[in-house]
Structure 1
């Protein structure tokens, strides 16, 4: 309805990820840089985590759209809690390999496919927080497959924040050593929330109709926490309300009432309530969280050191290339 009312070419706030509407916020740009850095290494794992709706899938859609199909073979799987053998079958199927037979047969098929093609292989695993330790171990073993000293597979793990806690497990130390880049995708800032909304509107032909109160964007941020999917859901309903009222101007009051109505419809709590909620944390749980946080911080420091070494190496190679010319 609001497409006709406001003359848009398409829905500006569809929930389905669309690489064409990618918004290069500061956090998404940094996450993209981590993906590209990891890809440049030609081996190992890249980990991107974020809240539900933070834009992980859209980020990866954009990332994949930039890869040359003549150079890369990209396979994507979405996991649930499957056993290690079943995960291998998902990987085989994603790369177009026969997934029937026992584990050894499936594994031989994957290895043959990786060695046969001259292109580089990238595996993207979505909802990776649901992977079992056995499943993650299978992925680690696949990362060991080489040909002439060259790794044949790189893996990108996408997941909710729980993935970081899973990876911090003492049993997955060998996997952590293969993580080349890791980034947590947070929400947009207040300023970026407004820019995001206007970016999506302009992408479908918005030229100022409807106009928005400046304070309306503050209300949007307050009710969504800057999470893109939440922004899309709220703004879609705001446009519908504006179209029903035939309003050429969308006020902060309209956004507020729509947000409250949406929360009531979904039976959920507001972002503000969630932020100030006080869950009960026992001393035992707090100690475990502290230990996990320490492990993650140690891993991130290691990755940061590798990035600095990589940057210095690239500068040296650039200088060396210039000197030869």
Structure 2
């Protein structure tokens, strides 16, 4: 659509998590550093939380791609699984075949044997669970049982939970307090600051091939940041729609006018009538 018009190789503001566009602002770099430190120190439980759209999945995938050959990863993207299904999913990620009729204890024993072999081979194993707030209480207890797999010297499995703030509330439940007590590192992703939002726009545009002058006017940048509250997914959505609006009008720069058109079509953003009053459009 607008790629050739703006001199782009690919769409810069897609909504699908894409680790090649990872933006290392202060908060996301801090989360990445926490994950790396926890991995190196061998801690059993790590939790990364953040509001919808703050980039947890992108961070998770970027971290996965940065792992060396001495680390084996199991990545659970859809955790809406009952305990036995969760164990089966972990086993599949570890290329371990389990009998569908094995009970939970047998499955844990099989996974434990596989982890012991990996440890003997000098490999560390990590389990990453995305959207962890969707885990049932029973499945959270299964995660805790997985964290029990250890030798006298080290954990056989490091577990990293990524979830929305609801995960924090879930972990406050008395019945899973044992799991909560085992979390060694917590990190909360925050939205982008205004200066970071501008750098984020430039970062994605340059990676997508843009080589021209500032594509978004200063006023458009300020409005985009305030309307999106600095949430990367909302920035992407509004920026994409603004580019479409500018392309439709044959405009080479995005002004507040194009942003307001994008806001008209985006109920997730702040009230459009308010922005029309304060901007005069």
| TM-score w.r.t. length of structure 2 | 0.90
Q: Which runs of 5+ in 2 are unaligned?
A: 273-281
Query: Map of 1:221-232 to 2, 5 A cutoff?
Result: 221-232=225-236
In the TM superposition, residue 65 of structure 1 has moved relative to its aligned partner by: 1.6
Question: What is the root-mean-square deviation of aligned Cα atoms in Å?
Answer: 1.7
1:16 maps to what in 2? Answer: 16
Once the two structures are superposed, residues 169-199 of structure 1 have per-residue CA deviations (whole angstroms, 9 ceiling, x without a partner) of: 1222211221111111121011111110111
**2:254 is the alignment partner of 1:254:** no
Match of 1:147 among 138, 148, 151: 151
| Distance (whole Å) between structure 1 residues aligned to residue 209 and residue 82 of structure 2 | 47
Contact kept, 8 Å, 1:234 with 1:258, in 2: the verdict is yes
1:235 maps to what in 2? Answer: 239
Q: Would the alpha carbon gap of residues 7 and 152 (structure 1) be closer, same or farther in structure 2, given more than 3 Å must change?
A: same
Structure having greater relative contact order (Cα 8 Å, sep ≥ 6): 2
In the TM superposition, residue 147 of structure 1 has moved relative to its aligned partner by: 3.1
| Distance (whole Å) between structure 1 residues aligned to residue 252 and residue 77 of structure 2 | 42
In the TM superposition, residue 145 of structure 1 has moved relative to its aligned partner by: 1.0
How many residues end up aligned between the 2 structures? 267
| Distance (whole Å) between structure 2 residues aligned to residue 60 and residue 270 of structure 1 | 26
| Distance (whole Å) between structure 1 residues aligned to residue 217 and residue 133 of structure 2 | 40
| Distance (whole Å) between structure 1 residues aligned to residue 215 and residue 66 of structure 2 | 34
| TM-score w.r.t. length of structure 1 | 0.78
1:310 maps to what in 2? Answer: none
1:74 maps to what in 2? Answer: 73
Q: Would the alpha carbon gap of residues 61 and 175 (structure 1) be closer, same or farther in structure 2, given more than 3 Å must change?
A: same
Contact kept, 8 Å, 1:13 with 1:200, in 2: the verdict is yes
In the TM superposition, residue 142 of structure 1 has moved relative to its aligned partner by: 1.1
SS at match of 1:150: coil
SS at match of 1:53: coil
1:102 maps to what in 2? Answer: 102
Q: Which runs of 5+ in 1 are unaligned?
A: 274-325
Once the two structures are superposed, residues 229-270 of structure 1 have per-residue CA deviations (whole angstroms, 9 ceiling, x without a partner) of: 11111111111111121111211121122212x22xxxx353
| Distance (whole Å) between structure 1 residues aligned to residue 210 and residue 256 of structure 2 | 19
| Distance (whole Å) between structure 1 residues aligned to residue 271 and residue 71 of structure 2 | 43
